[in-house]
Amino acid sequence: MSVVDERLNALRGAAPRKPHNARTLAALAANPGCLRRTLLDAAGIDKGQIAQGLGVRISIGQMSSIAIARGKGFEAKVKADGCAELLRLLREHIGLPVAEVHYHDLNPADTDDRITSRLRRSRHALRVSAESNEPTGTLFDHPILQLTVNGVQVRIEPDLIAFKLGNQFFIVEVKSFAILDGTADSGKVAAAAQQSAVYVLAMREMLQTAGLDPDMVSDQVVLVCPKDFSNHPVAELLDVRKQLATLKRQLDRMESVESVLRLVPPDLSFDLRLDDAGRPTRDPQELAAAVFQVTARYSPECLGACELGGVCRSEASGMVPVLGRVVREDLGGIDSIKEAVELATGLREPDAGQQQASDLLRRAYGMREAALGAVR
Amino acid sequence: MTVLTSLAKALAAYSMGPQRLTVFRHQYISSKPIVIVPLTLAGETNAPLAAMVGSDRARPTLIVTRQPRERAERLQFAGRLASELLFPIEMAAQRTQPTGPGPNARMRVVDAPQIWVPNPAGIEFVRTLGRMTRLRQIEGPWAVPKKVRDLGIWLTWFAEQAEFADTGALIAATQALAAVWATGQSDLEDGNLAAQMAWLDPPEGMDVASAVSRAENPQLCPPAGPTTDPTFDRLFLEPALRDLASARTPAAHSAVHRRLTAMLEEQMRPTWELVWTAIDLLLEVTEAPRVPKRWEQQRDRFTSFHQYVANGGNPQAKRDSAGRSAHRLAELEQRMAAFEAQRAYDDPLVIADYRLTGEAFAGQVVDVDATRRVPGLRRSVLRPLVTVATSDQVHLDVDQHVYDPARNGQQAVITSVNETEDGWRIELELQNQMGGGQTAKPGSVPLLGEEVTYTSVTETFVRRRPWPTREETPWTHGGPPPDSTPVVEDAAEDWS
Amino acid sequence: MTSPQERAEIKTAEILTAFTNGGRRGVVVDSPPGAGKSTLVGRIAAEIATAGDTVVVVAQTNAQVDDLVAKIATRLPGLIVGRLSRDGYLPPPTLLLPNVQVASRVDDLPDCRVVVGTAAKWAQVRSARTWPWAVVDEAYQMRSDLLLLIVPLFKQMLFVGDPGQLDPFSPIDGERWSGLPWDPMQSAVAVLLRNNPDIVPHELPVTWRLPASATRLVQTAFYPFSEFTPGTHDDERTIHVPTVGIRRTVADEVIDLAADTGWGFLELPHRNTLRTDAETVAATADVAVRLLQRGTETVCEHAPGGRRLTAARIAVGAAHRDQVAAITRALRARGEIADGIRVDTANRLQGAEFDITVILHPLSGRIDATPFHLTPGRLCVLASRHRHACIVVGRRGIPELLDAHPGTEPVHLKDFIKFPDGWEANQAVLAHLSNHRVSALH
Ligand code: SF4
């Protein structure tokens, strides 16, 4: 085990490593500048548990059980009868000339089926397929993929299907949001595109490690969703080139964990010290102090993208970032709300670097007072 | 966003109290608003679960689907909502008055309906429910009652009106509030009606901070919808739906349904109250001078669309054709420009924004030549010169047209800009609204020493060739698209 | 090996034939910056007119129209050229030619063999007449809704434009049309190509403006799918700046570097600032003025013996209007020497050409980027106006800002995807600039 790994494990303490999945990897793009998140993610620490340990409610990642049930039902429908529906879509909507298709089930054989052996099976199946020139299409159901993140090999267990036709692999993403009259929620499509980009990249990495051409994996992803108000599937091609570029760059240039580790005290730990019943016994104040040792980069978007949103928000309370990115930009680099207000009202003299922002705020405040004077 | 808005947010956060963003309210508020608080079933495309509707805060109508997973029940829901909405629409349409004296006057409704929903997602609900119902047939194998299809046509109209900056037809409470007040939290958090109202109207005896924290707890403050709280789904809704499906007898079914209704009412009631309180708060803010005129235009739009529906007009197409989209874009742009200009002319805080960005200036008249004339096409014309001294940071240049909000947008052109010790001297040539006489009509030329404001913001109106109809779509835009009148497949559209 | 001139000539002839003999309703020509777009437009209009047909030229701004009218009228002394204008338009002195007629109604220009007007003006024309030929200049700056109105007036149309420039703009959120092949928010050419996949754009092969030092970067960063080459060699375009002995400032250093390599990046210390950051504005103005104070000379194919750089051959570019105003003020404060330097936003610098440009980097001093700042066209316009050198001024920290930028923009199904992505284009330019950096340390 490398020194870095050792330190990361020490940070996590006794808690089991939280596995990455495409959603967590795609979420890296949500706030790539945040060191706190980078470190916790690299150490495989469950951020949700940390938030709970601090007594802060988590606002994300909660899915309605009703929605989950429906999503599962939809996926089952798409995959029923050896993916009959899916094949129909691939033929009709995407124009792939699929004649006969092999189906390769890579789902866990039973509850004991270990992920490492599934990974081995997936890798093998994909490689054999990549090397063969067989013209018929092949569907791979639930392969396990692996991607190097921050020097750490991350296994991804996507709910996905890979499809090979001729010399091309396509990722098929089944999602349960609707495509209504050819349009869909742009936030959800974006999330799907980001996740697909993770799969494409992971699959490319797998092929490359096997000495095969990574470009066999297409950057066009097949998105399958319910059509309009029904639960009949419809498919749409999604171009994920931009998401791939973003992801690659973020993985490449992500602050290497090593340099982040250098910034934190050697004895730092986020161990929750769970008791036998799984309840954290660590003093919340002490835990908070540990979390705050690592610099965050809070913006309100965090509330919808990171389990620590509430934690970092209260930490940033009184600071300009809690008001939003635009406000932060408008106030020209002044960090504290109090300071901004005092500069605006003339209670405080600006530092050398604040003169310009202060002038602007003072003018704005003057106009505000003049205009509101009449109504008050 | 602008510096003034950002400053207001900072002030709000600092003082832990809301801060005004405008001096006036630029939104018309009906004397009889209709409020809809909708809830949908998670995981489906706009499957209606329940709605609280009405114009009477004390007596909302509660509509709860008998079985949200069944398509026929969704139609039933739409039918019941139609009964609630089509009636006030019809009532409004019946009361008309001429637009003016004389033979050319048209008829215009005296008042038009105005719908309120809690948030933008509520507008989306209206839009999608409209789409779900408007393309249905009222005859033939999958026929629905006419009122269901009409509801679809009207909901679509309301949702489309809501895309316009100056709309008064369908309003999201969070947006109407955010136009008037800044809170000390981000826009994102303001999107939660309860959290926003925690700043504006915290519960008796509670400070803003505790009110916000309470508002963010879905167990204490149910979300404003249409999406329900996942915990509520798991603990209450899912079991109730299961019981509903397994209820064998009508009596058992009714019992479960009563339980379901009660729990859904509990989820909607707080939001219902918040929307009404929001309306009350907004009513307390003085209406801006140009609001009635805009509402008059909205009444015209309602009148003519009602006419269209009454004459059996087709439901709106699924998507805009090339000509329709270009036409709509032009209208969106024009109405937005007009609204922005009107707001700026009406409201000193709005114009202050433009002053800060250099698109407006306020100052004192330091020189006037009120009788100046210049040669015109036939005879000389009156073109007074006015020089204004301002300390605003002006970014306007010579030849730029500017307008005087205090003189109904009187147009002037900048003839020179000179920097001085303490600001700028800007010389302007006045160009219109001075009457046809030898000398300017009284009050039309600013006096020496008068405080004046000029801005480059103005309403725009562009004259163009007519937009092509569907059939006239040119080759560059794909030629004429297929017909958009609803077909049988639309009527048979699966809702499960 | 053919010379650049020959290659450009062959391409022009090819385009001319494709348009006049190809029998197609539409022909598209993509032009990289400075590839002789308006020359092509003028030439094709002139050839059709000379052959005896009437041709309409559509441009996007009044300045572009005036420019084209003057060019075409000079080229065709024997034929009458019409300038379609708004009411009350006063032609500039350049248009006071015997063969130019001005009118606000197209029916008042019956004898004109060539009629030129803005797209907005043509969109108002209510004439029963149609024209056999139309050439649309700067077609990527025209919105597709406008195209909808003018197409019926013409039988065959040639669209010429620069795909790397700024897209047309609307304050409206156009989400409701996203993915539609006739999305009115898209450029005229984007919509035309989407609906007519059989039309393959021609590409002009040579940039006459950009020096060899800029062509590669501009091409890889902003035109990844095009191939164009500079019309000149490295040594055909040079800059001579008399050396300064004492009190050499950072402005001098960055000027010397740019004179040598064609690029310079004056990097100020990192700080989050307002858009109109006084220090950055001052540094930008200083560089522009220093270029003149030092008696810079440029040597090029037009002036092989060298010529003195004048204020009119310098442009200062920025992203925002308030920055332009602040720089203008800073230049004014530096005295008469700066008179005549063009200071403008990227929007308004489109199509213009200068010898040396000084740019305030759009992301300088910011905390986050926005889609406005990341639009590749904005940076592309700013980085491709110069014939000799481009000097960028900005605060440290822009690469970090880009890396921290959340990659979570909404995605629409079937949307028009534009490449390159602004984020990547920005990265490419920064990577290049990092090799031409002069740090201003305080
Ligand atoms: S919530 Fe905190 S840890 Fe998570 S991304 Fe935001 S700032 Fe970083």
Residues A82 and A231 reside in one and the same domain: yes
Locate the chain C residue with the closest alpha carbon to A334: C272
Size of interface A-C (CB pairs under 8 A): 95
Whether residue B494 is predicted with pLDDT greater than 80 in this model: the reply is no
Yes or no, beta carbons of C182 and B358 under 8 Å apart: no
Residue of A nearest to C409 (CA): A190
Sign of the C-alpha dihedral computed for residues B403, B404, B405 and B409 taken in this order: negative
Ligand 1 centre from A42 Cα, in Å? 14
- The full set of domains in chain B, from first to last, is 3-98+106-316 (no CATH), 345-455 (2.40.30)
Residue A159 shares a structural domain with residue A215: yes
Q: Are A159 and A174 in contact (CB under 8 A)?
A: yes
Residues in C 347-366 with any Cβ partner in A closer than 8 A:
365-366
What average pLDDT is seen over chain B?
93
Q: In the prediction, which pLDDT does A337 show?
A: 97
Residue A303 is assigned to a structural domain of this protein: no
d(CA C362, CA C377): 12
A45 alpha carbon – ligand 1 mean position (Å): 13
DSSP type of residue A74: H
Q: Check residue A112 and give its pLDDT.
A: 65
The answer to whether the CB of A296 is under 6 A from ligand 1 is yes
Q: Given CB atoms, is C177 within the 8 Å cutoff of chain A?
A: no
Contact C177/B325, CB-based, under 8 Å? yes
Pick the residue from chain B with its C-alpha nearest to A364: B4
Substitution candidate for ligand 1 out of A31, A39, A328 with most atoms within 8 A of CB: A31
User: Which residues are CB-contacts of C148 (< 8 A; sequence separation ≥ 6)?
Assistant: B322, B323, B326, B467, B468, B473, B474, B476, B477, C182, C184
- Using the predicted structure, report yes or no on whether residue C215 has a pLDDT greater than 80: yes
> Could you tell me the two tokens for B33?
């608003």
Give the residue from C25, C27, C145, C367 with the most B CB atoms within 10 Å of its CB, the best one to mutate. C145
Q: What are the counts of helices (DSSP H) followed by strands (DSSP E) for chain C? A: 15, 19
Whole-angstrom Cα distance, residue B77 to residue B68? 9
Whether residue C89 lies within 8 A of chain B, CB to CB, comes out as no
* Residue owning the nearest CA to atom 3 of ligand 1: A37
For the segment B101-125, what is each residue's pLDDT rounded down to a tens digit?
888 889 999 999 999 999 999 999 9
pLDDT on residue A159: 72
Query: Is residue A70 in a domain?
Result: yes
Task: Give every CB contact of residue B436 below 8 A, 6+ residues apart in sequence.
Answer: none
Domain identity same for A284 and A333: no
The response to whether residue A121 sits with its C-beta less than 6 Å from ligand 1 reads no
Burial of B192 (0-12, 13-18, 19+ CB in 10 A): buried
Residues A132 and A229 in one domain: yes
Q: B-chain residues within 8 Å CB-CB of A226?
A: 45
pTM of structure: 0.94
* Domain identity same for A170 and A56: no
Cβ-Cβ contacts under 8 Å, C170 against chain B: 329, 333
DSSP C360-388: E-TTTT-SS--HHHH-HHHHHHHTTSEEE
Q: Which residues in chain C have Cβ-Cβ distances shorter than 8 Å to A238?
A: 411, 413
Q: For residue C145, what pLDDT is reported?
A: 95
Q: What is the pLDDT of residue C89?
A: 83
Six-digit token string for C190: 């984007």
Higher pLDDT, A149 or B279: B279
pLDDT for C1: 61
Find the closest chain B residue to A231 by CA distance.
B496
Q: Is residue A240 domain-resident?
A: yes
In the prediction, which pLDDT does A280 show? Answer: 78
DSSP secondary structure letter of residue B229: P
Kindly state the average pLDDT of the residues B39-67.
94
Measure C276 CA to nearest chain B CA, in Å: 11
The residue-averaged pLDDT of C197-219 equals 96
Q: Of B329, B419, B462, which has the smallest distance from its Cβ to C184's Cβ?
A: B329
Residues A238 and A264 placed together within one structural domain of the fold: no
| Interface of chain B toward chain C, CB-CB under 8 angstroms | 163, 319-323, 325-326, 329-330, 332-333, 336, 357-358, 393, 395, 419, 462-465, 467-468, 472-479
Q: Are residues A130 and A165 in the same domain?
A: yes
Is residue B215 within 8 A of residue B191, CB to CB? The reply is: no
**Interface check C431 vs A, CB under 8 A:** no
Residues contacting A91, CB < 8 A, separation 6+: A97, A98
- Give the model confidence (pLDDT) of C429-440 as tens digits: 999 999 999 998
pLDDT above 60: residue B30: yes
Of residues B426 and A275, which shows the higher confidence score?
A: B426
Q: What is the pLDDT of residues B68-110, one digit of tens each?
A: 888 888 889 999 999 999 999 999 999 999 988 888 889 999 9
- Tell me, yes or no, whether A127 and A158 share the same domain: yes
Domain end, chosen from A225, A251, A277, is at A251
> C4-207 with C212-439: one CATH topology?
yes
* Residues of chain A with C-beta less than 8 angstroms from the C-beta of C183: none
- The predicted structure's pLDDT at residue A200: 94
Closest atom of ligand 1 relative to the A31 alpha carbon: 5
Q: What is the CATH number of the domain that holds A178?
A: 3.90.320
Q: To probe the interface with A, which of C273, C329, C408 has the most A CB atoms within 10 Å?
A: C408
Which helix or strand (DSSP H or E) is residue B54 part of? strand B48-54
DSSP assignment of A101-131, as one string?
A: EEEEE-S-SSTT--HHHHHHHHHHHHHHHHH
Find, in chain C, the residue whose alpha carbon is nearest to that of A253. C403
CA distance B494 to chain A (A): 5
Mean pLDDT lowest for which of A337-351, B239-253, B366-380, C66-80? B366-380
Residues A236 and A87 in one domain: yes
Across the interface, which of B326, B419, B478 has its CB nearest the CB of C145?
Answer: B326
Contacts of C145 in chain B (CB under 8 A): 325-326, 329-330
**Average pLDDT for residues C150-155, to the nearest whole number?**
95
| Residue A314 domain flag | no
Distance CA B20, CA A220 (A): 49
Q: A188 to chain C: which residues are within 8 Å by CB?
A: none
Instruction: Report the pLDDT averaged over residues C89-114.
Output: 91
**Is A231 part of any domain?**
yes
Q: Do the beta carbons of residue B128 and residue A180 sit within 8 Å?
A: yes
Query: What share of chain C in percent tops pLDDT 70?
Result: 100
Neighbouring subunits of B (3+ Cβ pairs under 8 A): A, C
Contacting partners of chain C (3+ CB pairs under 8 A):
A, B
Does residue B198 surpass a pLDDT of 70? Answer: yes
- Neighbors of chain A by Cβ distance (3+ pairs < 8 Å): B, C
Q: Is the CB of A302 under 6 A from ligand 1?
A: yes
Superfamily covering domain C4-207: P-loop containing nucleotide triphosphate hydrolases (3.40.50.300)
C422 touches chain B (CB under 8 A): no
**Domain-embedded: residue A130:** yes
Q: Is A243 in the pocket of ligand 1 (CB under 6 A)?
A: no
Mean pLDDT of C260-265: 96
Find the length of chain C. Answer: 442
Q: Which of A248, A238, A189 is nearest to A218 (CA)?
A: A238
- Across the range B342-359, mean pLDDT stands at 95
Domains in chain A, number:
3
For C395-410, how does the pLDDT look when each residue is reduced to its tens digit (9 = 90+)?
999 998 998 888 778 8
Q: Determine the pLDDT at residue A376.
A: 59
Q: What is the ipTM of this complex?
A: 0.94
Could you tell me the residue ranges of all domains in chain C? 4-207, 212-439
pLDDT at C373 over 70: yes
C180 vs B325: CB contact, 8 Å cut-off? Answer: yes
In a domain, A304, yes or no: no
One domain for residues A269 and A357: no
Domain with A160 in it: 65-251
Check CB contact under 8 Å for B495 and A68: no
Chain B contact probe: residue of A64, A176, A375 with most B CBs at under 10 A: A64
Of A24, A28, A36, A250, best ligand 1 pocket probe by most atoms within 8 Å of the beta carbon: A36
The answer to whether the CB atoms of C195 and B357 lie below 8 A apart is no
Which of B15, B22, B39, B44 best probes binding to A when mutated, by most A CB atoms within 10 angstroms? B44
Residues 6+ apart with CB under 8 A from B136: B142, B143, B144, B148, B149, B152, B486, B490, B491, B493
* Residue ranges in chain A whose pLDDT is less than 50: none
CB-nearest partner of A341 from B11, B131, B348: B11
Task: Evaluate if residue B378 carries a pLDDT over 80.
Answer: no
Q: Do A16 and A91 fall into the same domain?
A: no
Residue A306 lies in a domain: no
Q: Kindly state whether residues A282 and A228 are assigned to the same domain.
A: no
Q: Which DSSP category does B399 fall into?
A: T
| Residue C194 in this model has a pLDDT that exceeds 80 | yes
- Indicate the pairing of strand A168-174 with strand B48-54: unpaired
The alpha carbon of residue C255 is apart from the nearest alpha carbon of chain A, in Å, by: 27
CA distance C428 to chain A (A): 12
pLDDT of B157 higher than 90: yes
Tokens found for residue A310: 């509430």
Position B1 scores a pLDDT of 61
pLDDT at A374: 67
Q: Is C212-439 assigned to CATH 3.40.50.300?
A: yes
Nearest to C426 by CA among C398, C404, C392, C407: C398
What separation, in Å, do the N-terminal and C-terminal C-alpha atoms of chain A show?
Answer: 68
Q: Say whether pLDDT at B188 is over 80.
A: yes
Which residue in chain C has the smallest CA separation from B466? C149
